[in-house]
Amino acid sequence: MKVFKNSITLAQAERIAQGELILVKDSVLNSVASLKDANASSVAFFQDKKYLSSFIKSEAGLIIIPKDEDLSKIPSRNYILCEKPYLSFLRIVKFFLEQETKKISGADVHPSAVIDSSVVLPENIKISSNVVIEQRVKLEDRIEIEANTVVKHDSQIGEGSHLFPNVVIYAETVIGKNVRIHAGSIIGSDGFGYLWDGAKHQKIPQIGRVIIEDDVEIGANVTIDRGTLSDTIIKKGTKIDNLVQIAHNDIIDKNVILCAQVGVAGSSEIGENSILAGQVGVADHIKIGKRVKVAAQSGVTKNTEDDKIVFGYPAVDVKLQRKIILATRELPKIREYFHKLMKEDKNV
């Protein structure tokens, strides 16, 4: 349960959730919780029948439920009816958080921050201790840069973006509006490019950039390499989990989800609205289509068409992979039967 300093009325909750209030008893709400943990001051939600028991027993002051729920068959209490209960619940959570988040107003710059004289600070910005901002960095309004973060020369950071502690932004990186980059992530480091000259590995200069478009969120300890010649691009609305590696020249299209420990090798493209589950590996120069789902721990070694679900190593269509798994389970019996035939047939 999360308890907030501020509270809302049921009428406010109805407007925020964008649903229809069924009022039984007036209540003031100051927390959000699961059905099991909720109390009379909590907002909760219900949409999955496997939690029916918790729903029936819940003491929540307000529960957001599907609009087609039969009210005659459930306990009499305060409800909000809506199309997508979880989405409406998240609207209320976001509202509470916004009320408690101190808006950036004025220039709040810690005295230990090192900022090059060429950098023009916007009217509203927050820069914490030991931040380093190098030459010709362009900063837009309402940015927050937390402790020990380094922004190297000629980079750009868009309005409303937030860099958490210990982030490193290499030179010439372009970051859009409302981007969140969590602790320990490194953006714009050199791509892994070497050429064997017969005696040693010669480093291939990495002179491209990283471009991160608006509304992207990047988890903790993510590395995104700069391009070799062309740019590495993370497009609008993409969300990247912790411990993800994105190599040089990759293009991650709009609204892609990359879960923890995904690794994308160089010069690959991930189509918009695709989802790569945990520990997926993508080989270099691969093109994954739009709306593709790749199951956890799969290895993508060939181009994938739009709207496919693939898994396994190498990753293939889900229907084929299921047949392969079923066939694999039969191998011990097949082996046993084969050896039996060998013993019976003297010519084998």
110, 162, 182, 248: which one is catalytic?
A: 248
Among this protein's residues, is 248 annotated catalytic? Answer: yes
How many Cβ atoms from other residues are within 10 Å of residue 340's Cβ? Answer: 10
Rounded to whole angstroms, the Cα distance separating 288 from 274 reads 8
Can you say whether residue 11 is alpha, beta or left, with left for phi > 0 and alpha for psi between -120 and 50 degrees?
Answer: alpha
- Which residues belong to the active site? 248
